[in-house]
């Protein structure tokens, strides 16, 4: 609830909004809908009316406008008055009350790892069936099918997925980069290992839920990469979801329980280690916001990799478009680490997409609660990425991965998207095949 002192403070913040509109071109919901009630400026105007009592907060259009805010923080990065983040959080809080029962259901289910394991298995099976029904481009083809089939195809298509077996990833990336290796000369059968890794970094591995359950292959490969770089990894049992879904769904009790369980599992190991490595930016943000619990030892995997990977990470010829998850870019401010890490792979050209700071529309369970709008945002993002003419898209968040994969299936079906850590793993273990002439002579 918003008390009287809060109202005064919020009112003061609201007054600093000069309605300049500079937030509009960065808001994914505005760009996808063209509707100014779904823009930061519009939401702040409505918030002002609600706080002044001139509009009821539960009027459907008002609650919907608030509820459809993604919380991506892109607007606060450009707001000259620097005010929107806190105000929009308040607006979302008000809008939340409009959609209670569905939120309850999702929040109670989707942050449990066992449920997600089941989701993954079922989805994998369903994917195989749908691929048989509709061919390779089943997502696009089945979108026009009768409702139940189309709905199922959409649901299945939205679940994030990455190659489970290492050899599937290798064959995908070999296919993309293969042409260059054939041309490069001379080739050696001896694999030149990257330079000696930095020794001694002790990491606590945060399992997460989506990562561990939906992308187990990727998680395993990331651990292999970290170990190959000389890190000692500790994976304490008893970890649960970071609580982001519960906290954004307005379920503080659940969030407290999850936090307590994580503290019990992680506190002791973390005291003996350098940092807590988190693969998904959303989880990283949620954990690092809680400085009392984990201190500032939370590190996004991209940041850790930036720290420990050698300066040269093999050679691949690829044109890559990067999607920066909102929580990484605006929340943790670590987008530069992504680029630096990619810059270590010789031959990789990073192409800049338009609207790089605009959210893909995944935003946790948002994609399930506001399907149409989320789909429009996902397709728009996919179109921007595809327009760069790249060979591959990389990102670091499972939610973004699923959302953009879904968009690409309609906009540019032949363009793959993989997690960043998978690309790095490939570069490390499979990319260093070309031996420069100079090195050959030296050995």
C-beta of 57 vs 419, nearer to other proteins: 57
Quote the distance between the C-alpha of residue 50 and its chain's center: 33
Binding of other proteins by 383 (CB under 8 A): no
Binding of other proteins by 59 (CB under 8 A): yes
Query: Please, is 117 exposed, middle or buried when counting C-beta atoms within 10 Å of its C-beta (0-12, 13-18, 19+)?
Result: middle
- Name the segment binding other proteins (CB under 8 A); options: 38-46, 159-167, 215-223, 397-405: 38-46
CA distances from 384 to 348, 351, 364, 411 (A): 19, 11, 21, 10
The residue within the footprint of other proteins, chosen from 4, 34, 53, 146 (CB under 8 A), is 34
Min dist. Cβ of residue 349 to other proteins (A): 16
Min dist. Cβ of residue 379 to other proteins (A): 14
Binding of other proteins by 172 (CB under 8 A): no
- The C-alpha atoms of residue 341 and residue 337 are separated, in whole angstroms, by 6
DSSP E strands, 235-378: 275-278, 298-300, 315-322, 346-351
Binding of other proteins by 353 (CB under 8 A): no
Binding of other proteins by 79 (CB under 8 A): yes
C-beta of 66 vs 294, nearer to other proteins: 66
Binding of other proteins by 290 (CB under 8 A): no
Min dist. Cβ of residue 189 to other proteins (A): 43
Binding of other proteins by 82 (CB under 8 A): yes
Binding of other proteins by 37 (CB under 8 A): yes
Place of tokens 């998680």: 219
Residue 322, strand partner residues: 394
Closest CA to 341 of 373, 378, 370, 312: 312
The residue within the footprint of other proteins, chosen from 6, 7, 8, 35 (CB under 8 A), is 35
Backbone angles phi, psi at 194, to 5 degrees: -60, 165
Min dist. Cβ of residue 22 to other proteins (A): 6
Binding of other proteins by 21 (CB under 8 A): yes
**CA neighbours closer than 13 Å in the CB half-sphere of residue 97:** 10
CA distances from 275 to 57, 202, 239, 242, 381 (A): 43, 7, 16, 16, 33
Binding of other proteins by 81 (CB under 8 A): yes
Min dist. Cβ of residue 91 to other proteins (A): 12
C-beta of 38 vs 213, nearer to other proteins: 38
**Token pair listed for 132:** 């048989």
Other beta carbons less than 10 A from residue 295's beta carbon: 14
Binding site for other proteins (CB under 8 A): 15-25, 30, 34-37, 41-42, 45-46, 49, 55, 59-62, 64-65, 79-83, 354
């Amino acid at each position: 609830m918003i008390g009287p002192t809060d109202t005064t403070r919020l009112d003061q913040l609201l007054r600093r909004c000069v309605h300049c509109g500079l937030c509009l071109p960065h808001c994914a919901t505005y760009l996808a809908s063209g509707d100014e009630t779904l823009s930061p400026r519009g939401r702040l105007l409505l918030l002002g009316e609600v706080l002044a009592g001139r509009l009821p907060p539960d009027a459907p259009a008002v609650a919907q406008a608030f509820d459809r805010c993604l919380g991506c923080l892109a607007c606060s990065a450009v707001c000259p008055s620097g005010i929107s983040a806190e105000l929009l959080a308040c607006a979302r809080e008000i809008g939340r009350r409009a959609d209670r029962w569905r939120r309850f259901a999702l929040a109670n289910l989707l942050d449990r790892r066992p449920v997600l394991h089941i989701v993954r298995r079922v989805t994998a099976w369903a994917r195989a069936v749908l691929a048989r029904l509709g061919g390779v481009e089943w997502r696009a083809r089945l979108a026009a099918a009768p409702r139940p089939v189309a709905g199922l195809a959409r649901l299945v298509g939205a679940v994030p997925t990455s190659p489970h077996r290492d050899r599937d990833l290798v064959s995908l990336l070999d296919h993309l980069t293969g042409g260059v290796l054939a041309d490069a000369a001379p080739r050696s059968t001896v694999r030149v290992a990257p330079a000696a890794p930095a020794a001694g970094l002790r990491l606590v591995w945060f399992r997460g839920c989506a990562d561990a359950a939906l992308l187990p292959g990727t998680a395993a490969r990331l651990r292999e990469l970290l170990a190959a770089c000389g890190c000692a990894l500790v994976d304490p049992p008893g970890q649960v979801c970071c609580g982001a879904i519960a906290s954004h769904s307005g379920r503080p009790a659940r969030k407290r329980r999850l936090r307590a369980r994580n503290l019990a599992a992680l506190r002791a190991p973390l005291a003996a280690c350098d940092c807590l490595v988190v693969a998904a930016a959303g989880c990283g943000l949620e954990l690092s916001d809680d400085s009392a619990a984990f201190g500032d030892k939370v590190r996004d995997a991209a940041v850790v990799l930036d720290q420990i990977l050698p300066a040269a990470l093999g050679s691949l010829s690829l044109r890559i478009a990067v999607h920066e998850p909102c929580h990484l870019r605006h929340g943790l401010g670590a987008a530069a680490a992504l680029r630096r890490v990619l810059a270590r792979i010789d031959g990789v050209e990073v192409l800049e997409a338009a609207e790089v700071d605009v959210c893909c529309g995944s935003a946790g369970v948002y994609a399930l609660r506001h399907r149409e709008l989320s789909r429009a945002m996902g397709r728009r993002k996919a179109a921007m990425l595809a327009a760069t003419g790249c060979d591959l898209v990389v990102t670091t968040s499972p939610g973004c991965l699923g959302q953009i994969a879904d968009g690409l299936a309609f906009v540019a079906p032949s363009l793959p998207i993989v997690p960043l850590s998978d690309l790095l793993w490939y570069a490390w273990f499979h990319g260093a095949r070309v031996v420069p002439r100079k090195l050959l002579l030296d050995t």
